[in-house]
Structure 1
Amino acid sequence: MSNIQHLKTIQEFHQTRGLPSPDHPLISVVDYSEVQLQPEFFDCSWTLDFYLIALKRNIGGKVKYGQQTYDFDEGVMFFIAPGQVFRIEQPTGSSTERSGWMLLIHKDFLWNTPLAKAIKQYEFFSYTIHEALFVSRKEEDTLMDLISNIKREYHANIDRFSQGIIVSQIDTLLKYAERYYNRQFITRKQAGTQMLEQFERLFTAYFSDDIASEKGLPTVQYFAEQLHLSPKYLSTMLKTLTGQTAQQFIHKKLIELAKEKLSITKLSVSEIAYHLGFEHTQSFNKLFKNKTSLTPLSFRKSFDLN
């Protein structure tokens, strides 16, 4: 099993990547072409005590996005939050062609600013590396302007305005990233539709193969693992396609299945609840009434099965 390398400071990151010491201990913009990737980097996993936002170009070969693989010549963005475990993919292209930037932000730099809390609300920090954000040349230029502003500001003489100005640039960068992710979900609708079809098949199999009796109620985590997606990414994709989060969508499918069993079978409510994975019948009754304004028995009576 591979070991995990833990980097606590931006200084340590610079040292392990063969870079000169950072100009600021809590924030740094790194030229990706200057990063020295040693062979041992690919034999372990990494975790950081700071945020890493990167845009890389010419990373070599194909890029896997969800269940699909694409050739993509434009920039690829990744977002890594403190404490996340990740691996560096072995590059397959020429290292001399690599380009892009990495923005490193220590948590302490955001202390006592609105962004310290707001940055945790951006779901793309919970996506995995194969759910990267692809940006066009025009979008990349917009982001590069912000990165250049950040770099210029912390290279200048630090004063009482510096932190606020830099934080506002980071906040703007994240808002643009959110916009571009939303665009990506829309433009890759075909891949999303295929994912939705797979989700539907997995949901049907969960009950037809009696997985519910072993695992209980179906969870977002279960479907995310089966689809090789992170739970956050799956939820965002479903929200774009259906208007519902993954949890809401699962509940909708559960209620549809419950209605079917209540209307065409004579199974008791407790038997139906058990078949759907509920540990307690009361929990099933509560969810059903919350979603339909009726109890399961009231719904069944409308079909005169009892």
Structure 2
Amino acid sequence: MEDKSNIIHCETPQAFNRIIGIRTYHPLISVIDFSQIAEYRHPQGWKQDYYVIALCRGNLSCDVKYGRNKYDYSDGTLVFTSPGQTVEFQEYGEPFCPAEDNWAIMVHPDFIRGTSLGRDIGNYIFFSYEIHEALHLSEDEIEQVLDIFKHIRQELEKQIDEYTPEIVCSYIGTLLSYCRRFYDRQFKMRHSENMDIVSHFEKLLRDYFLTNALVQNGLPTVKYFADRMSLSPDYLTAILQRETGMNTRKHIQNRIIETAKDKLALDSHSISQIAYELGFEYPQYFTRLFKQQTGMTPAEYRQRKS
């Protein structure tokens, strides 16, 4: 189905297969070798109601926009999208001529529902990463990924039976576990770039608490900082967790508590007024957080400092 903006909405992998002209072995899951399909022209974009794991490599021309960013694939890259997300193509109307070894797995949530993969897939946060936060693979890693893609395709091309979902979900789970390992390797290799992100975040966080932003906008959110850094919230959190041992929310909470301590020690304002100055809508929320983080109420902390 195509909307007025020429974004094609595919509800199932089977619907996508019909558009690109390949055979469907199971309506809720598909493994595609793009070098084997007929040439077609880029739509403005795809909106898909299923998970996609796509391997892009070689001389593939696939300049895509996802969220706020675009990415030009020229190397071995894995991209993950989750149901309801939209990928737009900068080369709208141009021929899509995929190179060899460009593959995709497309799996509908109903296929994995009730399985261990269905229960665990929300833990693979890279499905919510931005396109420019994709996973870049070594040649050995590409071969591991391709091997799993091909095993899944072989299983689907056999007679579909009651064992098929269990076997296929096991392969997909193994693939995602490898991807988690590969992302860990990528984060380690990008330590210097990651520390630049940490420094940028810390400056934004510091500036937020030094300006009137607290009074005007209330307490900052993870999304607030991720948006200003052109990162997805989960990717920002993953970097901060790896490089500092604390996630984004913990960094924000620590800044709130340190600012609160300064105000409690130096200001004569009431605790309720300090809570409002810190962006809390209700003073009791401030008191609860402060005690959770310090083991004392704001009043007890102030009394100890007096």
Judge same fold: TM > 0.5, yes or no: yes
Q: 2: CA distance between counterparts of 1:263 and 1:202?
A: 24
Q: 1: CA distance between counterparts of 2:160 and 2:298?
A: 65
Is the Cα–Cα contact under 8 Å of residues 280 and 286 in structure 2 kept in the other structure? yes
Residue 234 (structure 1) shift:
1.4
Match of 1:48 in 2: 48
Match of 2:81 in 1: 80
Match of 1:29 in 2: 31
Q: 2: CA distance between counterparts of 1:113 and 1:238?
A: 31
The code of the aligned residue for 1:80 comes to T
3-state SS of paired residue (1:143): helix
Q: Flag structure 1 segments of 5+ consecutive residues without an equivalent.
A: none
Instruction: Work out which of the residue numbers 236, 246, 249 in structure 1 matches 2:238.
Output: 236
Match of 1:15 in 2: 18
Residue 190 (structure 1) shift:
1.4
Match of 1:280 in 2: 282
Instruction: Work out which of the residue numbers 37, 41, 53 in structure 2 matches 1:38.
Output: 41
Q: 2: CA distance between counterparts of 1:249 and 1:37?
A: 47
In terms of mean alpha carbon deviation, does 71-80 or 195-204 score higher? 71-80
Q: 1: CA distance between counterparts of 2:110 and 2:70?
A: 37
3-state SS of paired residue (1:302): helix
1:109-159, Cα deviation, whole Å (9 max, x unpaired):
223322122112211111121111111111111111111111111112233
Q: 2: CA distance between counterparts of 1:160 and 1:171?
A: 18
The code of the aligned residue for 1:199 comes to F
Match of 2:170 in 1: 168
Residue 2 (structure 1) shift:
4.5
Residue 46 (structure 1) shift:
3.0
1:11-32, Cα deviation, whole Å (9 max, x unpaired):
221233x332323322211113
Is the Cα–Cα contact under 8 Å of residues 74 and 136 in structure 1 kept in the other structure? no
Is the Cα–Cα contact under 8 Å of residues 55 and 100 in structure 1 kept in the other structure? yes
In terms of mean alpha carbon deviation, does 194-203 or 5-14 score higher? 5-14
The code of the aligned residue for 2:275 comes to A
Q: 2: CA distance between counterparts of 1:267 and 1:8?
A: 57
Match of 2:8 in 1: 5
The code of the aligned residue for 1:272 comes to I
Structure 1 residues 206-285: aligned runs within 5 Å: 206-285=208-287
1:110 is the counterpart of 2:116: no
Distance 1:61 1:31, change over 3 A: closer
RMSD: 3.0
Residue 53 (structure 1) shift:
0.6
Residue 95 (structure 1) shift:
4.1
3-state SS of paired residue (2:212): coil
Match of 1:181 in 2: 183
Q: Flag structure 2 segments of 5+ consecutive residues without an equivalent.
A: none
Residue 160 (structure 1) shift:
3.2
Q: Percent identity?
A: 38
Is the Cα–Cα contact under 8 Å of residues 61 and 93 in structure 1 kept in the other structure? no
